[in-house]
Structure 1
Amino acid sequence: METSGRAPTIVVVMGVSTSGKTTIGRMLAQRLGVPFVEGDELHSAENIAKMTAGQALDDSDREPWLQALAGWIRERTHAGKGGVVACSALKHEYRDLFREAGPGVWFLHLALDQETARERTAHRAGHFMSAQLLDSQYDTLEPLRAGEQGLTVDAAADLDANLDLVQAAIAPFESDS
């Protein structure tokens, strides 16, 4: 996923908790032969403790985390390398920050209905995101807007089919090299 003469493609896999960001992100990175970063791993201990306690993060809590993710995007872009990052990227302004960090940023929104997300959360073990925080994520979520480079897919659809859709959608960006 290296490019010459243009910014490398950085795919940000976005969506609410349990939409499958990590799963599809890892698989997409493997298919593309680029590094993957799990955005949750860049949260501060304070943010994780707050979410574990069932408290939603506000923008001031998220700011250092978003800056760390933007830094990773910037590093990959400056190195001329692509990558995949899993991050909720719920608000348009957060996505703007990522676009400013790397002009090759492309978003994959894994859309998931609340009922399915609740069911998945109830069966999820070992993660700090609780079912009670799902409502706050849906309240915050701003789907991709017209003009934002990216694609929205059904997170409950077949994983391989979604990966094929993503690869086909980013192919024009990759063939410019």
Structure 2
Amino acid sequence: MAPIVQGTGEVIVIMGVSGAGKTTIGNLLAEAAKCTFLDADDFHPDSNKEKMREGIPLSEEDRMPWLQGLCDALKERIIAGKITVLACSALRKRYREILRLSDPDHLPGRHNCSVKFVLLNVPVEVLSDRVNNRLANGEHFMPPSLLQSQLELLEIDVSEGILQVDATQNPSVIVKTIGDSLIQTKASESY
């Protein structure tokens, strides 16, 4: 994949429920694009992580400061002209709109935002296996019991233009698909 053009700040959010592969794909995409990778989980306060460990879904009051912190961090990177790949669940449209506000030039309802979203689609049974395996290996704090609540929160509005990718494919194929799509999108926007 060719590097994304440097000089203009841009954020690519790899989104989906727990177990979709956000961190794996995000890291690989950032490596291929020669840019920075951030994991939204690293921005959660310990209190949020503890709630999730205990199988308690986060409330809106838990999520809003976390999302605002992400927005602020991304805004700094966009203003500095940096490219960033962010792994973030971004399950609801209003959460994605908060992340879009990290683009200082973004006007709600417009599609020419510097924050792009890619949904990793994975069947429920595959997600369940992945989450169970991660928990058994001590690789994540999210228990399988919260997967259903995440699936219920997931909202996809086709008007948002979110790229949807089959995340059961080989990670290199997924990264190439995302890269090819973003490159084509950037080329078509210049006309």
Which residue in 2 is equivalent to 1:160? 172
**Structure-1 residue corresponding to 2:163:** 151
Deviations 1:7-41 (A, max 9, x none): 53210000000110000000000010110001101
**Gaps in structure 2 of 5+ consecutive residues:** 104-112
1:130 equivalent to 2:143? Answer: yes
1:128 and 1:26 map into 2 onto residues whose CA distance is 19
What secondary structure is seen at the aligned counterpart in 2 of 1:11?
strand
Q: Distance in 2 between matches of 1:150 and 1:29?
A: 19
1:16–1:138 contact (8 Å) kept in structure 2: yes
Matched with 1:106 is: 116
Query: Normalising by the residue count of structure 1, what TM-score does the alignment of the two structures yield?
Result: 0.92
The question of 1:58 aligning with 2:59 is answered yes
23-32 vs 112-121, which moves further: 112-121
In the TM superposition, residue 174 of structure 1 has moved relative to its aligned partner by 4.4
Task: Render the CA deviation track for 1:149-173: whole Å, top value 9, x for unaligned.
Answer: 4310111112111111111111145
* Corresponding position of 1:141: 154
For 1:24-78, what per-residue CA distance to the aligned partner results, in whole angstroms no more than 9, with x for missing partners? Answer: 0000000101100011011000000000000000111011111111112101110
The one-letter code of the counterpart of 1:67 is: Q
Letter in 1 for 2:178: V
Contact 1:15 1:88 in 2 (8 A): yes
Structure 1: segments with no counterpart, 5+ residues: none
Greater shift in the superposed pair: 72-81 or 127-136 = 72-81
Question: 2:10 touches 2:81 (CA, 8 Å); kept in 1?
Answer: no
Distance in 2 (alpha carbons) for counterparts of 1:173 and 1:139: 30
Output one character per residue of 1:71-90: Cα deviation in whole Å (capped at 9) or x when no partner. Answer: 12101110011110000000
Identity score, percent? 36
Structure 1 segments of 4+ aligned residues over 6 angstroms from their partners: none
Q: Matches of residues 5-44 of structure 1 in structure 2 within 5 Å?
A: 7-44=8-45
Structure 2 length normalisation: TM-score?
Answer: 0.85
Any conservation in 2 of the 1:9–1:174 contact (CA below 8 Å)?
Answer: no
Contact 1:2 1:81 in 2 (8 A): no
| Structure 1 equivalent of residue 80 of structure 2 | 79
Deviates more, 1:155-164 or 1:13-22: 155-164
